[in-house]
Structure 1
């Protein structure tokens, strides 16, 4: 190798060594840590929690009667206002009574005629009984007369039944309310021929004070409901959503548990009675029902939004304070401050609703859990707690 080549090779090696030394001596650049994730938190605390069950209910009239004519004839008048409240016995409609008045008159006349015949037969029997005592007539004649009296007495009894039937049919020409309640829409107008076979009757009357609400619960709730019902009356609240808010419609009590479980749905039907003073419940309407079975006292609870589901079951993100240790090569600086981090803690749950969840194990009272912003978190993530929201009331 020539002297010039050796010199060039030495220069290249020296230059490479210089670059390596520079790279080694260059201080390492630290990438900035990601900013803390903003979250909102709440504390686990003890509270008395009402254990309630929710279901969709159907409002049902306390009593429903379809008013149907008992006789056939032209309906001459309607004596109620549609949609009004009528009392039991109030006149609703009238059917032309003239054919039934004539039938009653005919039955009365026939009965009077047969009563006269019976009186004659009885007088004749008395005379025959006097004559036979003196042996003026035979015993066979007296026996025949007794049979005649018995026959006439049966005919009069039959006439009495016909008179009762005629009077009853005549009373049916005045159609009255069988119960107290609210009338519906009139199905047949005056002037039409009505009969017991009139489809849908004349009008339907419903009692809505009080009123029933039917709803169903899963069969798993049956033991708890039965225990509570045996101990005390169970209060039921019916409410509806109005403008995004929950409006209470009425308060009632549970009255009936069905005697079978629906095999196709695995649910049990229950019936609650409401006084319905404000007529907030109307037959056929759907409402949400809340059934309070008991109160769990001194239960550890967190907001339900804090509970998350993982592969191994429910957990919460709990907040803890972490103070990073400074490197051994440099002294502690004021920048090494405590930071807030989260830890995923498995929990065992009790009763839960849309607002609160009872924690059986996993948390202690006073621990802070994440209620907003948890979708971006992971164990050990740094967080920044946002201030609480302040609600402003409007008059």
Structure 2
């Protein structure tokens, strides 16, 4: 009886040991390779741009103000239209200025007549003086009167010029060819010299775009001012559309702001169709100096850890995790500035469960395979 009991205990112990060993072997067994998709690292043309917030500005814009006082008696343009240089725009009541001009012209005529008389007196007295027929004092007085008359003529000429200028200011003309805005005054309105804003006129073709850059970029834009191509500058409008004309550096401001460390740059664009309006917001895109033939990979292959970026490189059946430095994104791809070489293969799908040095096999990732299997099971299940 005792022997049977001993045999039973030994048998149970053997069974338990076998079961534990089998479970331990299963736990210590290496995990199966992870199915992944891979892609080859390639060099491709990469044109990418730095973005600057900009504002459209007219290259020439002037506020129209009157230089003489009076009431508006004429408006000779259509608001919002293009006016030619020298075209009359506003007229201020001219009657007072016409009268002042006529008076100045009459004064000049009178002064000229007095000058002629004084000249004749000087000539006559000088002739008499040669014959001792007149005192020397009389000749000197006639000469002084002649010089006074000459001064009066000069004063009258200046007064006439001033009156003519005031009369010309009564008609306000376009200083250059440009588009005029909505009038700020109406017929009959009283204007004061230098203070009342009548309107604003500005040029529209070509037109400028102002951007603010850091002082570190000054040399870059000075180089672009000397040499640029049709692809150097691109303009994106506020609605997201791209402006099709090319630009060039028009001017770089004289100095850097000591408060912000920035400087203003103005880029010129042609604007024949008047698509760009003064004051519009836009984004100026400037071709990056690093554009060219660069290493590119699908962006979906990138993983981020603590602000650093990694990819899994396929080494036959092993996945090696490697740190990379990213450049700009180009559609679904991203430029790699360091960490990869053309011809290497990277894991694009299925890397979520991978670790550095993990085994891989080519095939659909687990998530994709599971989804496919789920669909097959659903389609083959018998109907209830």
Counterpart check, 1:270 vs 2:265? yes
Distance, in Å, in 2 between the alignment partners of 1:63 and 1:369 is 55
Q: Which residue of 2 aligns with 1:75?
A: 72
From 270, 279, 284, give the equivalent of 2:274: 279
Whether 1:213 aligns to 2:209 is yes
Deviation, structure 1 residue 316? 2.5
Deviation string, structure 1 residues 258-302 (Cα, Å, up to 9, x no partner): 343334444342211001122222111111111125564443233
Unaligned ranges ≥5, structure 2: 369-384
CA-to-partner distance for each residue in 1:30-54, whole Å, 9 max, x for gaps? 4896995877x65321123335322
Distance 1:117 1:261, change over 3 A: closer
Is the contact between residue 54 and residue 210 of structure 2 (CA under 8 Å) also seen in structure 1?
yes
SS of 1:149's partner is helix
1:145 to 142, 145, 157: 142
Considering fraction of residues, name the structure with more helix: 2
* Distance in 1 (alpha carbons) for counterparts of 2:364 and 2:36: 5
The residue number in structure 2 matching 1:90 is 87
* 1:202-281 correspondence to structure 2 within 5 Å: 202-232=198-228, 235-240=232-237, 242=239, 246-281=241-276
CA distance in 2, matches of 1:318, 1:53: 30
Structure 2 distance, partners of 1:188, 1:381, is 81
- 1:105: how far off? 1.3
SS at match of 1:89: coil
Offset at residue 56 of structure 1 (A): 1.0
List alignment gaps of at least 5 residues for structure 1: 1-5, 323-340, 387-395
Q: In the TM superposition, what is the alpha-carbon distance from 1:87 to its structure 2 partner?
A: 1.0
The 3 A distance-change label for structure 1 pair 225 and 198 is closer
Deviation at 1:206? 1.2
Counterpart selection for 2:15 from 22, 47, 50: 22
The CA distance in 2 between the partners of 1:369 and 1:268, in whole Å, is: 43
- 8 Å CA contact 1:208, 1:282 repeated in 2: yes
- Do the aligned partners of 1:240 and 1:249 also contact (CA within 8 Å) in 2? no
What root-mean-square deviation, in Å, do the aligned CA atoms of Structure 1 and Structure 2 show? 3.4
Shift of 1:119: 1.4
Q: After superposition, where does 1:339-354 map in structure 2 within 5 Å?
A: 342-348=319-325, 351-353=327-329
Taking the aligned partners of 1:37 and 1:198, their CA distance within structure 2 comes to 79
| Count of residues in correspondence between the two structures | 357
Q: Aligned-pair distance for 1:102?
A: 0.8
Higher strand share: 1
* Aligned twin of 1:130: 127
Per mean C-alpha deviation after superposition, the further-off stretch among 262-271 and 140-149 is: 262-271
Cα distance in structure 2, aligned partners of 1:135 and 1:269: 81
Q: Cα deviation per residue 1:85-118 (whole Å; 9 max; x = unaligned)?
A: 1111111111111111111111111112222111
Give the Å deviation of 1:172: 1.6
